[in-house]
């Protein structure tokens, strides 16, 4: 059974993505019988290339993917280099999970309100410092360069890259390297950058690729923060797929294929940059310079992540305020009155979406965790090196959702699979599984094998050793991976809406539907609900192991 796990995982992920892509490729080249397309044609592509602003859309998608990832990575790396062992380090580590839990759309709404000309920051300094009685007419959110979008993405991706780095670091035993480097006279930040980073980077490479792919094709954040004339490619694709003129679907499909190309190009470009960075830094790594830049790097490393975390939290505070706000005019810093009206009016609507969200999240994450554990245990028992084919695991993260989900719906319908809860769970599994694998595999592989050898030498069977030794030792990691999976599932919009045909409502689908109405008070209510759920997951993941351990200690005495 166990041997089947890796193949099963790959089939589960590759078949739907492949089927979805085929169903998008066909109309992209003119084949869609329901609309009278029976012959191959390149007309959809000609129509696509005639769209005004297409290349701007493509450039912004491409650039925001690379730049936001680079910023997030630099923030995280400098933080790790400069803040080890400080109070900041401990504080941020505690913050990282909650920040990771907050869905992208929630952060985007809050961030937009924070930086808008009529937003919280402007209200904080107006009219006292600025003399603004009315909001200034400045193009900050939705700027044509996508700067607001890149900032929002960086805010959200930094916690993810930090968590992935923190998971990978222990196996590198960084303290040993650092001690050696320090004894040779390297200052702490420089020492970390020169000795730990080169071996850390390969371990967080896949998560970085996933972030790039995500950032080039993100829809929800781009809708809220991104440029609009023209919008990013992914936003255009969504509106083309939903255009009342249904013959646009040919062109929309071609655009979805183009999106795949843009994402792949961004990944390839990053890979080239990696090569470049490697050869450029080779000299610096061994030039023996021990102190230069220490102070600046340390300052930057300590402030950048703190700043981005505080910004993310402030975004949430703004949402919270709005969910309680009565009339709230510029430049008032606080609403004229607070009211529970918005919560009370939404209250009766919470039950079904909450239940569905929890059910889908728990089911898909439980399935994903079981499959990942089976695969890893199989790898361990067979003494396999991590399978090369397992990179296929990341297919759903590397292929933009928007490129294959519309096709996947057609594929499912053709097989007679009607929209239902189980189809939505399967759809979530596509995205939850890779993240659970990303979060768990390093911890699994680095668990000291001697624990299990001892258990086996005491005559415990392999199966029992897994359940009684490995799992308890890995409990914290498994729970964290579970919480990550849960957060990923809760944030999914397109797969839920498309595969469930709207019959399966979750907190996220409700939040997005309400967002179309632009009532910031209600958006506040639903976005906070969206944020609270995964947070519960992370709190449980942090406290359960402690509770269980306390319980055991009592048993021992």
Partner 1 sequence: MPINRNSLRATTAVTMLALSFSAMANPDPSDWPAVQQAAEGQTVYWNAWGGDTRTNRYINWVAQQMQAQYGVDVEHVKLDDTGSAVARVLAEKQAGNGDDGSIDLIWINGENFAAMRESDLLFGPFAEALPNFTLTNAAANPEVVTDFTLPTEGYEAPWGKAQITFYYDSAQTDTPPQDMQALLSWAEANPGQFSYPRIPDFTGSTFLKQALIELTEQDEALYQPVSEADFEAVTAPLWAYLDTLHPHLWRSGRTFPDSGPNLRTLMSDGELSLAFSFYPTDAAVAVMEYELPESVRSYVLEGGTLGNVHFVAIPYNSPHKAGAMVLADFLLSPQAQAQKQSLAMWGDRSVLDIAQLDADTQALFEQGERHPAELPADALSNTLPEPHPSWMTALQEAWLERYGVN
Residues of the shown chain interacting with partner 1 in the complex, contacts defined by CB under 8 A: 32-35, 52-53, 56, 116-118, 134-135, 137-139, 142-144, 223, 227-230, 239, 241-246, 249, 325-330, 339, 341, 345, 349, 406, 409-414, 416, 418-419, 497, 501-503, 505, 509-510, 512-522
CA angle 175, 176, 181 (to 5 degrees): 95
First-to-last alpha carbon distance for the chain, in angstroms, is: 40
- Is 330 buried (19+), middle (13-18) or exposed (0-12) by CB count in 10 A? middle
Axis-axis angle for helices 4-28, 248-286 (nearest 10): 130
Comparing CB distances to partner 1, the nearer of 17 and 60 is 60
**Of 145 and 271, which CB lies nearer to partner 1 in the complex structure?**
145
Cα separation, 270 vs 278, in Å, equals 12
**Residue with smaller CB distance to partner 1, 101 or 224:** 224
In angstroms, the CA 447 to CA 220 distance is 38
CB nearer partner 1, residue 27 or residue 98: 27
| Residue 222 vs 305, nearer CB to partner 1 | 222
Least CB distance from residue 326 to partner 1, whole Å? 5
Instruction: Between 449 and 502, name the residue whose CB sits nearer to partner 1.
Output: 502
Query: Smallest gap, in angstroms, from Cβ of residue 497 to partner 1?
Result: 7
Give the shortest CB-19-to-partner 1 separation in angstroms.
12
Nearer to partner 1, 305 or 507 (CB): 507
CA distance 200 to 168: 7
431: nearest Cα among 373, 377, 527, 360: 360
Who contacts 155 (Cβ-Cβ below 8 Å, separation ≥6)? 107, 111, 308, 311, 312, 315
Cα radius of gyration rounded to whole Å, the chain: 25
Least Å distance between CB 476 and partner 1? 38
CB of 250 to partner 1, least distance (A): 12
Q: Which is nearer to partner 1, 18 or 117 (CB)?
A: 117
Q: Provide, rounded to whole angstroms, the least separation between the CB of residue 39 and partner 1.
A: 16
The pair of three-digit structure tokens given for residue 183, joined into one six-digit string:
């004894």
In this structure, what DSSP letter does residue 466 have?
I
Q: How far is 353 from 22, CA to CA, in rounded Å?
A: 32
CA distances from 513 to 220, 437, 495 (A): 12, 31, 14
Report the residue number, 500 or 537, with the smaller CB distance to partner 1.
500
Tell the smallest beta-carbon distance from residue 540 to partner 1 (Å). Answer: 30
Minimum distance, C-beta of residue 245 to partner 1, in the bound complex (Å) = 6
Q: What are phi and psi of 371, to 5 degrees?
A: -65, -40
Helix (H, G, I), strand (E, B) or coil at 83: coil
Shortest Å distance, C-beta 313 to partner 1:
22
Q: Which is nearer to partner 1, 345 or 546 (CB)?
A: 345
Q: Which is nearer to partner 1, 137 or 448 (CB)?
A: 137
Q: Which is nearer to partner 1, 283 or 348 (CB)?
A: 348
Task: Determine the Cα–Cα distance for residues 487 and 531; give it in Å rounded to an integer.
Answer: 9
How many angstroms separate the CA atoms of 532 and 530, rounded? 6
Sign of CA dihedral 215, 216, 219, 225: positive
CB of residue 389 to partner 1, shortest distance in Å? 31
Question: Rounded to whole angstroms, how far apart are CA atoms 48 and 27?
Answer: 13
* Nearest CB to partner 1, comparing residues 147 and 366: 147
Least distance between partner 1 and beta carbon 508 (Å): 11
d(CA 56, CA 58): 5
- When the beta carbons of 397 and 423 are compared against partner 1, the nearer one is 423
State in angstroms the smallest separation of the CB of 515 from partner 1.
7
Say how far apart CA 67 and CA 73 lie, in whole Å.
10
Scanning the structure block, which residue is given the tokens 């939290």? 313
HEC per residue, 221-237: HHHHHCCECCECHHHHH
Which tokens go with 206? 């896949």
Q: How far is the CB of 489 from partner 1 (least distance, A)?
A: 20
Minimum gap (Å) between residue 412 Cβ and partner 1: 8
Say which residues have a Cβ less than 8 Å from residue 122's Cβ, sequence separation at least 6: 116, 130, 132, 135, 136, 330, 331
Please name the helix (run of DSSP H) or strand (run of DSSP E) that holds residue 136, with its range, or none: none
Spatial separation of the C-alpha atoms in residues 248 and 381, rounded to whole Å: 52
Give every CB contact of residue 245 below 8 A, 6+ residues apart in sequence. Answer: none
8 Å CB contact between 305 and 92: yes
């Amino acid at each position: 059974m166990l041997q089947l796990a890796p193949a099963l995982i790959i089939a589960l992920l590759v078949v739907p993505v492949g089927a979805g892509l085929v169903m998008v490729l066909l109309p992209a080249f003119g084949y869609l019988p329901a609309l009278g397309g029976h012959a191959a044609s390149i007309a959809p592509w000609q129509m696509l290339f005639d769209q005004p602003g297409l290349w701007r859309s493509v450039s912004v998608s491409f650039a925001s993917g690379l730049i936001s990832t680079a910023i997030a990575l630099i923030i995280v790396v400098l933080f790790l280099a400069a803040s080890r062992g400080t109070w900041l380090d401990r504080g941020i580590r505690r913050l990282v999970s909650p920040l990771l839990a907050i869905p992208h759309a929630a952060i985007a709404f809050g961030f937009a309100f924070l930086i808008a000309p009529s937003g919280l920051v402007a209200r904080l300094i107006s009219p006292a410092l600025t003399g603004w009685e009315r909001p200034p007419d400045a193009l900050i959110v939705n700027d044509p360069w996508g700067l607001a979008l890149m900032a929002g993405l960086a805010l959200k991706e930094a916690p993810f890259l930090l968590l992935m780095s923190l998971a990978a670091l222990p196996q590198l035993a960084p303290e040993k390297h650092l001690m050696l480097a320090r004894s040779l006279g390297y200052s702490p930040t420089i020492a970390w950058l020169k000795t730990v980073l080169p071996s850390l980077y390969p371990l967080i490479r896949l998560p970085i690729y996933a972030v790039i792919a995500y950032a080039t094709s993100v829809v929800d954040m781009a809708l809220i923060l991104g440029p609009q004339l023209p919008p990013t490619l992914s936003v255009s694709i969504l509106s083309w797929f939903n255009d009342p003129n249904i013959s646009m679907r040919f062109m929309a499909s071609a655009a979805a294929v183009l999106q795949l190309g843009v994402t792949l190009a961004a990944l390839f470009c990053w890979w080239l940059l990696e090569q470049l960075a490697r050869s450029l830094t080779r000299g610096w790594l061994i030039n023996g310079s021990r102190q230069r830049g220490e102070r600046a790097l340390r300052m930057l490393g300590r402030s950048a992540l703190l700043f981005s975390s505080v910004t993310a939290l402030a975004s949430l505070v703004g949402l919270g305020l709005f969910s309680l706000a009565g009339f709230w005019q510029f430049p008032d810093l606080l609403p004229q009155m607070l009211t529970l009206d918005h919560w009370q009016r939404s209250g009766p609507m919470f039950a079904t979406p909450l239940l569905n969200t929890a059910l889908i999240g728990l089911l898909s994450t439980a399935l994903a965790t079981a499959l990942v554990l089976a695969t890893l245990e199989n790898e361990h028992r067979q003494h396999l090196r991590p399978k090369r084919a397992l990179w296929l695991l990341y297919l759903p993260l590397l292929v933009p959702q928007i490129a294959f989900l519309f096709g996947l719906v057609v594929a499912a319908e053709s097989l007679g699979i009607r929209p239902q809860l189980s189809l939505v769970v399967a759809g979530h599994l596509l995205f939850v599984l890779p993240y659970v694998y990303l979060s768990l595999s390093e911890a699994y592989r680095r668990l000291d094998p001697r624990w299990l050898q001892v258990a086996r030498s005491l005559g415990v069977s392999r199966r029992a050793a897994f359940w009684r030794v490995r799992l308890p030792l890995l409990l914290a990691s498994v729970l964290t991976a579970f919480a990550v999976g849960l957060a990923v599932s809760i944030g999914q919009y397109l797969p839920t809406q498309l595969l469930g045909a709207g019959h399966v409502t979750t907190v996220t689908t409700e939040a997005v539907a309400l967002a179309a109405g632009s009532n910031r008070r209600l958006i506040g209510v639903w976005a906070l609900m969206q944020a609270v759920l995964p947070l519960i997951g992370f709190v449980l993941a942090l406290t359960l192991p402690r509770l269980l351990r306390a319980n055991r200690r009592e048993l021992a005495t």
